[in-house]
Amino acid sequence: MAMSFIGKPISLISHSDVRYRGILAGIDPAASTIQLSRVYSMGTEGRRPAHEFIPPVAEPYEYIIFRAGEVKDLSVDDTQTPNPRSVHEDPAVVNAGRVVQQQSSNNPPQPRGQRTNSVLTANSSLQNVERAMGELRQPENGSGGGGGHNSNKNKITVPTTDFDFASSNAKFDKTSAAPDDVAPDAEKEASYNPTKSFFDTLTPGPANMRGRGRGRRQEERNRNVATFGEPGGVGLLGPGAYVGGWGGYSRRGGRGGRGRGQSAGNR
Amino acid sequence: MNPASSSSTPAPNSRPPSSHPSAANKTPSEWKQQLHAPPKDMRPQTEDVTATKGTEFEDMFLRRELLMGIYEAGFERPSPIQEEAIPVALTGRDVLARAKNGTGKTAAFVIPSLEKVDISKSKIQALLLVPTRELALQTSQVCKMLSKHMGINVMVTTGGTTLKDDIMRLSDAVHVLVGTPGRILDLASKGVADISQCPVFVMDEADKLLSPEFSPVIEQLLSFMPNNRQVMLFSATFPLIVKDFKDKHMKTPHEINLMDELTLRGVTQYYAYVEERQKVHCLNTLFSKLQINQSIIFCNSTNRVELLAKKITDLGYSCFYSHAKMLQSHRNRVFHDFRQGHCRNLVCSDLLTRGIDIQAVNVVINFDFPKNSETYLHRIGRSGRFGHLGIAINLVTYEDRFSLYRIEQELGTEIQPIPASIDRSLYVAPQGGDEQAQQPHQQQVANGTAVARR
């Protein structure tokens, strides 16, 4: 099924937090790899702290083969016609023009260091590709006309039988997420050691949810469809239950009815 | 009205044993016998709350009126954090206290704060800051309960309510002010809440209050307070950012750390590996199998909270839901009614991750696995309150595998695969409680926040 996305523009984020944009050229279930052509590396954008920043690379790679297991996120680019802005979408960048790209083109167009693990072929399982592709869901472009896609095609049915925890857990190897380069007995510094410090180094909670923008919103809607069969929106459970909220108009058409009818098109 | 103890203000420790009219002239045993404590909770408890040195509340030189409130609230003897923190706090020293979720931190700062209040002064004498509105309500309820016999005026103020009511309320005497940072700063900068002589400043869930979203507000708030205030910080997690605050604003604080490890002993943690589209099915099966006394189910966004609440009612189970985009009055009603046990399940976002204390909750379900260990730790700490037993069940997808690994590593804990059947003794109290798994019932969806109420 995922094969139908071949030829579509794809955004892919590796576990090194580098985003790549390119055209889906192929999926190799046997090798568990995903191939993109005409690939731009967008760098880490805002996903890593400043000292780990990897800048975007101006020249596209002809193709990159990605190991599916190292792909953190994958989505179909909803911007069908790439415009200059799509080269660098970070709203903080005032000028995403040639100057920036000239600078960064000094970098060798080869991923270096740790990043290489994202772009090498590897022999992880077929399951990896399927899972990664499961996330690859066509955003419902232009369907904001209102309710048109509110069909049963995504309906989540709950089987009457019990969920089989044992066989489901058998499909998952918890230790597979352990980084390969760390020897199991090389215990890294504990995040909390009361004998050494009162303070801990746990990963902190989300700093600020604001400003994560449209991509994240779309990602969540896709995920909601996968979980619940619908993307969610305003006031599912009746008036008064929900105040404010974002993005409600794109699903419910011109529901607001205050001269914002054109927003329903959502182009 | 309660007369103030005397015109002079003796030091706390030299205060006469009692000044309350009804408590005066009674021997120690008499006043205690007349109290109406709630029925004793007979559920087993872990050493997270039982490993004390044996101090009694009566050993702490507290006013009898306060002791009466303490015993009437059902507190029998101090928990470890209360035993450590209350005496130090009473001396006026700054305190940095770290103790696990649900081990009695709130009372550990409320008791000394109340003890220090001089009722004859109609000034704010303790400022208790918390990160969420629900937690503010809960903390103020604890203050009111413990100060029941003291004649202290406790006020709670949070965003999402009308400022006018707060202004009216502050024209009367307020001794203890509980609230969220934004609103209190608003009141202080308008000159409505005078905290210029407030000697006690407490931050509960201090690390949350010192996170980037709050810390500028805290800094401003401190500028309205006197320089010689006592600062007390409480939490189960203290990331390094708190150290900056400590160095800048605290005077040689007394550090209390009762945490050998991060997670609660009474909470057993499981994961169930699922695909995104199997989550609802999985939850349905959990509902039918588990002996849920009350459960809290966490989702990673407000939309998903609503979507899941709808699904749960479609499946015929009752649930409340709460998230940050709801009207505050609805949030309050949900919180209140869930606490009263009106409904078995609560679906929520991370709004209710910290500090919320609902003793009947024995099951926490992470419908969406959290992205970081701090959130995870505070979420699962909603069960196993005050050393009781509970379970946390995590629905984990392939995408979550790295988070799962990292959280286990950072917390130094093990999240086990969920077994075919979970030993009831791990989370169901031996006596009392419900013996049955919950049964789906005919769907009844009401408009509003409370759906399919039972």
Q: What is the pLDDT of residues B310-351, one digit of tens each?
A: 999 999 999 999 998 888 889 999 999 999 999 999 999 998
Here the tokens at position B278 are 């199997």
Q: Quick one: closest CA in A to B239, which residue?
A: A200
> At B61, which amino acid appears?
F
Is it the case that residue A149 has pLDDT exceeding 70?
no
Would you state the pLDDT for residue B28? 62
d(CA B2, CA B25): 17
- Determine the distance in angstroms separating the CA of B212 from the nearest CA of chain A, rounded to an integer: 7
Per residue in B83-127, pLDDT (tens digit) is 999 999 999 999 999 999 889 999 999 999 999 999 999 999 999
Q: Is residue A153 part of a domain?
A: no
Determine contact, residues B175/B126, Cβ cutoff 8 Å: yes
Q: Determine whether the interchain pair A168/B447 forms a contact, defined as Cβ–Cβ distance below 8 Å.
A: no
Q: Is residue A49 part of a domain?
A: yes
A40 contacts A21 by C-beta, under 8 angstroms: yes
The residue-averaged pLDDT of A134-149 equals: 40
Q: Please, which contacts does A200-203 make with residues 24 or more away whose CB atoms are closer than 8 Å? A: A200/B237, A200/B238, A200/B239, A200/B240, A200/B262, A201/B239, A201/B240, A201/B410, A202/B237, A202/B239, A202/B262, A202/B372, A202/B373, A202/B374, A202/B377, A202/B410, A202/B411, A203/B371, A203/B372, A203/B373, A203/B374, A203/B406, A203/B410
CATH number assigned to the domain covering B267-426: 3.40.50.300
In the predicted structure, residue B3 carries a pLDDT above the cut 60: no
- Could you tell me the two tokens for B389? 């037993």
Chain B interface mutation, best of A185, A198, A251, highest count of B Cβ atoms under 10 Å: A198
Instruction: Give the burial string for B165-203 (b: 16+ CB within 10 Å, else e).
Output: ebeeebeeebbbbbbbbebbbbbbeeebbebeebbbbbb
pLDDT of residue B431: 64
Across the range A88-104, mean pLDDT stands at 41
Query: What pLDDT, on a 0 to 100 scale, did the predictor assign at position B439?
Result: 79
Supply the mean pLDDT for chain B.
88
Q: Sign of the CA dihedral B277, B278, B279, B285?
A: positive
Q: Please tell me the predicted confidence (pLDDT) of residue A79.
A: 57
CB within 8 Å: B396 and A172: yes
Q: What is the C-alpha to C-alpha distance for residues A77 and A138, in angstroms, rounded to an integer?
A: 9
- Closest CB from B311, B325, B371 relative to A245: B325
Q: Do B309 and A237 touch (CB under 8 A)?
A: yes
Residue B3 is given by DSSP the state: P
Q: What is the pLDDT of residue B224?
A: 97
Is the per-residue pLDDT at B242 higher than 50? yes
At B151 the pLDDT is 95
pLDDT surpassing 50 at residue A84: no
> Which region among A253-262, B159-168, B354-363 has the lowest average model confidence (pLDDT)?
A253-262
Beta bridge partners of B202: B128, B232
List pLDDT tens digits, range B186-240.
999 999 999 999 999 999 999 999 999 899 999 999 999 999 999 999 999 999 9
> Which residues from A are below 8 Å from B281, CB to CB?
158-159, 163
The answer to whether position A10 is within a domain reads yes
B200-204: strand order across its sheet: B154-157, B176-179, B126-129, B200-204, B230-235, B95-98, B254-257
Please indicate whether, in this complex, the C-beta atoms of A228 and B211 are within 8 angstroms of each other.
Answer: no
pLDDT in the model for residue B31: 84
Residue A122 lies inside a defined structural domain of this protein: no
Cα B28 vs. chain centroid, distance in angstroms?
Answer: 31
Of residues B443 and B342, more confidence is placed in B342
What is the bridge-based pairing of β-strands A19-28 and A9-14?
antiparallel
Q: Tell me, what's the pLDDT at A108?
A: 39
Which of B280, B302, B404 lies closest to A156 in CB terms? B280
Residue B39 makes CB contacts below 8 A (sequence gap 6+) with none
- Is a pLDDT exceeding 50 seen at residue A141? no
Domain residues for the domain of A64 are: 2-74
Instruction: For B27, list phi and psi in degrees, rounded to 5.
Output: -75, 160
pLDDT of residue B61: 93
Helices (H), B147-213: 163-170, 181-189, 206-209
The tokens of A127 are what? 């399951």
Domain count, chain A: 1
User: Residue A132 domain-assigned?
Assistant: no
Average pLDDT over residues B343-369: 93
In a domain, A226, yes or no: no
pLDDT of amino acid A131: 53
Strand duo B230-235 + B95-98: pairing: parallel
Which of A219-233, B36-50, B414-428 has the highest average model confidence (pLDDT)? Answer: B414-428
pLDDT digits (tens, 9 = 90+) for A163-178: 999 999 999 988 887 7
Per-domain boundaries in chain B? 39-257, 267-426
What pLDDT was estimated at residue B267?
93
Beta strands in B53-190 (DSSP E): 95-98, 126-129, 154-157, 176-179
Q: Which residues of A touch B411 (CB under 8 A)?
A: 191-192, 202
What pLDDT is stored for residue A142 in this prediction? 36
Instruction: Say if the Cβ atoms of A156 and B212 lie within 8 Å.
Output: no
Is the Cβ–Cβ distance between A132 and A66 less than 8 Å? no
The CATH number of residue A9's host domain is 2.30.30.100
CB atoms < 10 A from the CB of B164, how many?
8
Q: How many CB atoms lie within 10 A of CB B37?
A: 13
Of B98, B211, B448, the CB nearest to A241: B448
CB contact under 8 A, B273 and A156: no
pLDDT for position A266: 34
User: In the prediction, which pLDDT does B19 show?
Assistant: 46
- Across the interface, of B240, B278, B330, the residue whose CB is closest to A163 is B278
In this structure, what are the phi and psi dihedrals at residue A227, rounded to the nearest 5 degrees?
A: -85, -45
Please check whether residue A87 is in contact with residue A96, taking contact to mean a CB–CB distance below 8 angstroms: yes
Task: Give the pLDDT of residue A13.
Answer: 85
Give the architecture-level CATH label for domain B39-257. Answer: 3-Layer(aba) Sandwich (3.40)
| A5 C-beta neighbours (distance < 10 Å), count | 18
Decide: pTM greater than 0.90: no
Determine, yes or no, domain membership for A13: yes
Contacts of A218 in chain B (CB under 8 A): none
Q: How many CA atoms lie within 13 A of B8 on its CB side?
A: 6
* Host H or E run for residue B137: helix B133-146
* Predicted local distance difference test score (pLDDT) of residue B387: 85
> Could you tell me if residue A26 is inside a domain?
yes
Which amino acid, A192? Answer: Y
Which chain B residue has its CA at the smallest distance from A235's CA?
B306
Q: What share of chain B is helix, strand, coil (3-state, %, to 5)?
A: 40, 15, 45
pLDDT at A12: 83
CA distances from A232 to A220, B301, B321, B384 (A): 9, 11, 15, 32
* C-alpha dist (Å) from residue B161 to B5, B179, B203, B205: 35, 12, 21, 22
Interface mutation target, options B307, B313, B409, chain A, most CBs of A under 10 Å: B307
Give pLDDT, residue B111. 98
Asked if B236 and B98 count as a contact pair (C-beta separation under 8 A), the reply is yes
> Could you check whether B39-257 and B267-426 share the same CATH topology?
yes
Q: How confident is the model at residue B34 (pLDDT cuts 50, 70, 90)?
A: confident
Distance from CA of B188 to the nearest CA of A (A): 25
